[in-house]
Structure 1
Amino acid sequence: MTSDAALSLADTVREATAVLAAAGVPSPKVDAELLAGHLLGVGPGRLRAMVLGDTPAPAGYAELVAERAQRIPLQHITGVAHFRYLELAVGPGVFIPRPETESVVQLVIDWLAARSEDTERLHGRPKVVDLGTGSGAIAGSIAHEVPDAEVHAVEFSEFAHAWAAKNLLPLGVHLVRGDLRDALPEHNGSFDVVVSNPPYIPAEAVPNEPEVALHDPPEALYGGGADGMELPTAAAASAARLLVPGGYFVMEHAEVQAGWIAAMLERSGHWSGVTTHLDLNGRERATSAVRKPEAVSDERIGQ
């Protein structure tokens, strides 16, 4: 790529787009613009206005484009991931939040809004926990958009927990380092909502995208077992333990896993209203259910 000083911003962005396209980057023009905007400290709208003038290319732009051409995630280069209304700090060691997960957050917000009067009447502030929070995208968005909620988040990875702390502590989220399989026993039966985007990729299913395969941490991708379903199953079991009767559970998963997860929830006997939800691309992205009250045993009935 030509040196930054030799070209205008417009020419440099055009050349960068060609370089990224040749490297197989899925959105070369957008990424070229975002890298330039990152260095110039401007948003996409302002950048496009600058491209129309005679603005010089920013120093260091060629180096960042070369990194992106090596399929290093854009968010690792800029240090930022945009998710709903948040700007999250991200980098090596944490899963980069995906746009499709935004629809999972919306399911939680819609459920809380529909039941706000009942929740407030019964026990005040709604109480929500995100199991396996990663960067904190889900928990942080709920805390930001439902400011009266008491939001908790659990993360096992030391590196991801450090990124989550940067993002969540300013939002008032109660973040703990722990395993989603046995976390927060002191809160059993007290949450109105449990939400989770657990690792769910099968052991032998290596992602196609280099950004994912080489840079997302394996512990955030692979769900355990040949089918990847160990951690999603554990998340559902923890949700049943943590929720109040009538509480809401929603979990993200791969499109091909929707039927399996719905059947697993039905078999457990803990859930009613098991429902699969589509993301904005029309894919079966998440499954929700409502916690049943515990059945009263025959022995207790006879007492």
Structure 2
Amino acid sequence: MSVSATIAHATAALAEAGVVSARTDAELLAAHVLATTRGRLLLAPDLTEEQHREYASLIAARESRVPLQHLTGRAAFRHLDLAVGPGVFVPRPETELLVEWGLAWLRGHTADPVVVDLCAGSGAIALSVATEHPGADVYAVERDPAALAWLRRNAAEAPVTVLAGDVIDPATLADLDGRVDLVLCNPPYVPLTAAGQLSVEVTEHDPAVAVFGGPDGLDLIRPLVGRVAALLAPGGAFGVEHDDTHGGAVPALLRADGRFERVRLHHDLAGRPRFTTARRAGGWQDGAP
């Protein structure tokens, strides 16, 4: 059977199983087995018997809703190719918007900033900043041991300082209090009440500790606001991703703290509230997050 026919058969099977991105996933898994790129599949030779068995096994696993990234062991994020698997949250494209905002802010303010990624997970945010803003002194903080192992693996050869710690503990990064230029965070924020609306890939494979933020999704974000205010230097900036139901709540938390200004809600490409940014009061007056 040709590669195209094999992919067509796999696409039908994945679609029948309810996989929304059936064609894309079938092609990416074929590229993985053939050790090529998706764009070069038309030039690939037919699968050998061994490759066909491997591909069939991967398709069966994807039919059972094992995440594509767990099957390939990789996740694309901006310019990165991250190692991921069981125990770590698979980074989503929506978070790239938060990173883009953070990088744009850095370009307008300082060449050698101190940047902190809280709830770092796979390291997608920290590694993107370190890669795309050379000279940044980047710290990545993660508490969960399983996620921490993936973070250390991804950051092994990167200019990122990895720390195991609780992001709301005043002792974590205490030596940086008042010195940080930018804090970025993608915390667990999904309300427990929304669990039934999530895909099987999330509920059965993403670690719950990285997904759910308590009954209303704000259990971590509430105390995080104060800790970030302590970390930031005057004029430093903060960006935090949140649930689309938090478009009013998160900006309100930042304003209520009293140490932030220029609080702004940002929407994703679908027009949904996705992250909020603010500036630590007391710094320079030019520019704004």
TM-score of the superposition, structure 2-length normalised?
0.93
Aligned match for 1:55, one of 41, 46, 57:
46
Q: How does 1:96-111 map to 2 (within 5 A)?
A: 96-111=90-105
Q: Secondary structure at the match of 1:161?
A: helix
Aligned match for 2:208, one of 203, 215, 218:
218
Displacement of 1:281 in angstroms is: 2.4
Contact 1:132 1:196 in 2 (8 A): yes
Contact 1:140 1:171 in 2 (8 A): yes
Equivalent AA in structure 1 for residue 173 of structure 2 = L
Aligned match for 2:183, one of 167, 174, 194:
194
Equivalent AA in structure 1 for residue 209 of structure 2 = E
User: How many corresponding residue pairs?
Assistant: 277
Q: For 2:165 and 2:42, how far apart are their aligned partners in 1?
A: 44
Q: How does 1:88-237 map to 2 (within 5 A)?
A: 88-116=82-110, 125-182=112-169, 183-206=172-195, 207-224=197-214, 226-237=215-226
- 1:3 corresponds to: none
Instruction: Report which of the two structures shows the higher radius of gyration computed on alpha carbons.
Output: 1
Cα shift readout 1:19-39 (whole Å, capped 9, x = no counterpart): 000000010000000000001
Equivalent AA in structure 2 for residue 205 of structure 1 = A
Q: For 1:25 and 1:203, how far apart are their aligned partners in 2?
A: 24
Displacement of 1:172 in angstroms is: 1.4
Q: C-alpha root-mean-square deviation of aligned residues, in Å?
A: 1.3
Contact 1:198 1:231 in 2 (8 A): yes
Gap regions ≥5 residues in structure 1: 1-6, 295-303
Tell me the percent identity: 46
Displacement of 1:282 in angstroms is: 2.2
TM-score of the superposition, structure 1-length normalised?
0.89
Displacement of 1:292 in angstroms is: 1.0
Contact 2:19 2:63 in 1 (8 A): yes
Contact 2:34 2:47 in 1 (8 A): no
Equivalent AA in structure 1 for residue 92 of structure 2 = R
> Is 1:250 aligned to residue 244 of structure 2?
no
Gap regions ≥5 residues in structure 2: 284-289
Displacement of 1:84 in angstroms is: 0.2
Q: For 2:254 and 2:43, how far apart are their aligned partners in 1?
A: 52
Contact 1:198 1:252 in 2 (8 A): yes
Contact 1:198 1:235 in 2 (8 A): no
Displacement of 1:236 in angstroms is: 1.6
Equivalent AA in structure 1 for residue 212 of structure 2 = Y
Aligned match for 1:16, one of 10, 13, 16:
10
- 1:84 corresponds to: 78
Cα shift readout 1:172-213 (whole Å, capped 9, x = no counterpart): 100001011112112111100011000011223214200001
Q: For 2:190 and 2:243, how far apart are their aligned partners in 1?
A: 8
Q: For 1:12 and 1:136, how far apart are their aligned partners in 2?
A: 35
